[in-house]
Amino acid sequence: MSPPPLLLLLPLLTMEPAGATLIRIPLRKVYTGLRALNPLRGWDKPAEPPRLGAPSPGDKDFFVPLSNYMNVSHSPTQPPVAVPNLPALSQALHPGPLLFCHQVQYYGEIGLGTPPKNFSVVFDTGSSNLWVPSVRCHFSSLPCWLHHRFNPKASSSFRPNGTKFAIQYGTGRLEGILSEDKLTIGGITGASVIFGEALWEPSLVFTFAHFDGILGLGFPALAVGGVLPPLDKLVDQGLLDKPVFSFYLNRDPEAADGGELVLGGSDPAHYIPPLTFVSVTIPAYWQIHMERVEVGTGLTLCARGCAAILDTGTSLITGPTEEIRALQAATGGVPLLMGEYLIQCSKIPTLPPVSFLLGGVWFNLTAQDYVIQISRGGVRLCLSGFQALDMPPPAGPLWILGDVFLGSYVAVFDRGDRKSGARVGLGRARARGAGQ
């Protein structure tokens, strides 16, 4: 991988127009037990990258509140792409199956068809396609029968496509056909999108999932079959003013909501200004350059700089095995199961901070941020929010900043335009209700 270009540091206060349209959809939060299989993400064929959607000026924001599903740990889809170095990365991102304890998956609701049929989907910045189960799925595909299914005969706006697609997972395959229909998301209606109807889901991860499908928010280079991603379609059809969105992920297990996905901009009430913007180095995943990682004052990781991906479909923060082992030793982590580490709960107040240098600014996580605390039946369990995951060169080594990081820092994903490149803005998340 060639050295990434210099990053832009643009500290500024992002103010949304007073007349912005804010639409919120309340969703429930579901807690589940110890049963999460993590699949390998990967579309079976690379795609020709379609063009980026050009933004238009405006001030409309659309809010999609997120549910907080404490189960699946990683984003279920990850296609290889026609971009140098990325096919190997996509195959390495999720080498499952892996078992995780009570991890968090955020999902929200969309509608497909006319009248719209509601589906719960993971909003995944690590992929770029939309798919849901189909009523035409194979009779032995158990996940189809346990989730909402799309019925083309029930939609007056359905248009057949018929192109076959397949996703390869560590525990099986997802197969189906592409179709076209109207998308309803937040306050946006009438967007015509091409999506996947899943006909065969042998992977157990979908059987236990509380979400029906996936809505990818990555770049067009990740999309299978040259399909224009949903975000691009919204912009191209004039239903969304800017190809910008942001995530507020609420990690408070006692909170009634899981957070919000904001389409078209960001809500300053979600974060403490200013935002720090860092440029995207490869416009496929939301990949940026990370300058360094410090654990307290005694351990430096990513010492010569490294690549990092901001992925809403990954619960934990992952990094190269040797560096994560050193981090766990510095934070008192004890190996538990399948790459997870146990932390002694009583030591949380004394554990060192873990700090990430991005765009010349330090983003600090305290032990309260990076230790996952679980209480069930009077038993308290504390798990490390870091896990080892190796990506071989030239794609790696690489870190994934998942929900443990994105729950502490609101991320504003800005696709940019022909004049300015893509960038990600980061700001410390406010506690729910603070400053509102």
What is the residue-wise DSSP string for 198-209? EEE---HHHHH-
Q: Are 389 and 218 in contact (CB under 8 A)?
A: no
pLDDT confidence bin for 29, thresholds 50/70/90: very low
Output b/e per residue, 138-167; b: 16+ Cβ within 10 A: eeebebbeebbbbebeebeebeebeeebeb
- What topology is assigned to 267-430 in CATH? Cathepsin D, subunit A; domain 1 (2.40.70)
Q: Decide which of 62 and 136 is more confident.
A: 136
Closest CA to 278 of 6, 14, 8: 8
Structural element, H or E, at residue 279: strand 271-279
Q: Please tell me the distance from the alpha carbon of residue 332 to that of residue 423, in angstroms, as a whole number.
A: 35
Query: Known catalytic residues?
Result: 124, 311
CA of residue 124 relative to chain centroid, distance: 4
Output the pTM of the full model: 0.82
46 pLDDT more than 90 = no
Q: Map residue 143 onto helix, strand or coil.
A: helix
User: Which whole number is the average pLDDT over 172-193?
Assistant: 90
Classified by CATH at the fold level, domain 24-29+104-240 comes out as Cathepsin D, subunit A; domain 1 (2.40.70)
The span from the CA of 214 to the CA of 200, in Å, is 15
For residue 275, the number of C-alpha atoms closer than 13 Å in the C-beta half-sphere is: 25
Continuous H helices in 226-383: 230-236, 321-331, 367-370
Read off the pLDDT of residues 281-328 as tens digits, 9 standing for 90 and up: 999 999 999 999 999 998 999 999 999 999 988 889 999 999 999 999
Mean pLDDT of 344-353: 96
Residue with tokens 């996703």: 167
Common-topology check for domains 24-29+104-240 and 267-430? yes
Question: 194 has which bridge partners?
Answer: 180
Return the pLDDT at 1: 41
Task: Give the pLDDT mean for 247-266.
Answer: 81
254 pLDDT above the threshold of 80: no
Percentage helix, strand, coil, to 5, in the chain? Answer: 15, 40, 50
Task: Name the average pLDDT for the chain.
Answer: 77
Q: What is the pLDDT of residue 93?
A: 40
- Read off the pLDDT of residues 7-27 as tens digits, 9 standing for 90 and up: 333 333 333 433 345 334 333
For residues 55-77, give the mean pLDDT.
Answer: 44
Q: Is the pLDDT of residue 171 over 60?
A: no
The domain ranges of the chain are 24-29+104-240, 267-430
> Residue 207 has what pLDDT?
84
Q: Report the amino acid identity of residue 383.
A: L
